[in-house]
Amino acid sequence: MGKLKFGVFLPFYSFRAKDPKEHFNLIRETVLECERLGYHSVWLDDHLMYNDWPILECWTTLSALSSLTSKIRLGTMVSCNAHRSPTITAKMAATLDVLSDGRLEFGVGAGTQEAEHLAYGFGFPKPPARIERLAEALQVTKQLWKNKKANYQGKYYSLKDAVCEPKPLQKPHPPITVGGSGELLMQKATAPYANRFDWGFLPSIEDYKHKLEVLESQCKAVGRNFAEIEKSCWPSGQVIIAQNRSELSEKIFQQKFEDAKLEDFKKTALAGTPDECIEQLQVYLDLGVTYFMLFFGELPKLDGLKVFAEGVMNKMG
């Protein structure tokens, strides 16, 4: 088993500041704390709009963060393929990898928010077409990152002697995380091209085991070594952690929707003391998981990050 890694997901809705500078300051302080505590990576979601909420564009925000950090890795969870031409995304990603001294985590997906796509004029084809586009986009991206001159002719995208310089610093290229749990997506994009999968939060360990079996069979079908793909998981919809039961109860009360039952809330949350969290993570370790994606429901409060890092991450190694 490889070294355990813990990433922190920082969605736009965790930082509800009306002023964009205040919004960025909250993200910056969170990222700097994650770096100080030794987390492997931080990840921003890629949305252009959600109703009328102010949202900072993820790639430019990561570029700003790259100049303020030195160790923590910077990822997109996930960059939406439809939002930009994959040729432009590949160039942006290569640039960010260079500027960050090789710290890019390239997360990409087919896109899920229909209203956002239609509002921005991208269109929103059915899932098979979106997944086909993503699969082609990954081929285009790898061509640009690896070849001196890239050539490609597909159904949706084409390249003719395209030059992407400078290349990413990471070799053979930045790690690619394909986001999405659908079996067609796993067949077309994850099995052939991903270095890590991201299925989001699954409601049970049985669901996770089933996805592993499906992906392994699909890797065999395309001649890919299943062991080459890092096993990742979201152990919960959100993490609520405290040093003792009384503090935990208070935190759960603050996070739980008023009309939600406590037992239902706990089904989607990793809620416990550090030792209890370690016990809950062990079922994934037994399946070979080496990467955990974490969403701390208390953000932008930072104490949960510290308790988890000191009481769980450092103990698990």
Residue 287 has a pLDDT of 97
Residue 252 has a pLDDT of 82
Q: Is the pLDDT at 164 greater than 70, yes or no? A: yes
Q: Is the pLDDT at 249 greater than 80, yes or no? A: yes
Closest CA to 105 of 186, 3, 179, 4: 179
The reply to whether the predicted model has a pTM over 0.85 is yes
Cα dihedral value 134, 135, 138, 144, nearest 10: -110
Closest CA to 295 of 33, 17, 44, 18: 44
Q: Is the pLDDT at 220 greater than 90, yes or no? A: yes
3-state SS record for 50-71? CCCCCCCCHHHHHHHHHCCCCC
**Residue 200 CA from chain centroid, whole number:** 9
Which overall architecture, per CATH, does domain 5-316 show? Alpha-Beta Barrel (3.20)
Distance CA 197, CA 110 (A): 13
Q: Is the pLDDT at 89 greater than 60, yes or no? A: yes
Q: Which residue type does 210 have? A: H
Better pLDDT: 279 or 245? 279
* Interval 223-242: pLDDT, tens: 999 999 999 999 999 999 99
Mean pLDDT of 269-290: 96
Residue 1 has a pLDDT of 54
- H helices then E strands: how many in the chain? 13, 13
Cα dihedral value 285, 315, 309, 227, nearest 10: -30
Distance CA 236, CA 292 (A): 10
Q: Which residues contact 195 (CB under 8 A, 6 or more apart)?
A: 175, 176, 177, 228, 229, 230
Strand (E) or helix (H) holding 206: helix 205-222
Q: Is the pLDDT at 188 greater than 60, yes or no? A: yes
- Which residues are 101's β-sheet partners? none
Half-sphere exposure for 272 (CA within 13 Å, toward CB): 17
Q: For residue 31, say if its preceding peptide bond is cis, omega within 30 degrees of 0.
A: no
CB 235 within 8 A of CB 289: no
Residue 245 has a pLDDT of 87
* Interval 130-151: pLDDT, tens: 999 999 999 999 999 999 999 9
Domain boundaries, the chain: 5-316
CB 35 within 8 A of CB 72: yes
Distance CA 317, CA 196 (A): 20
Q: Which residues contact 227 (CB under 8 A, 6 or more apart)?
A: none
Q: Is the pLDDT at 284 greater than 90, yes or no? A: yes
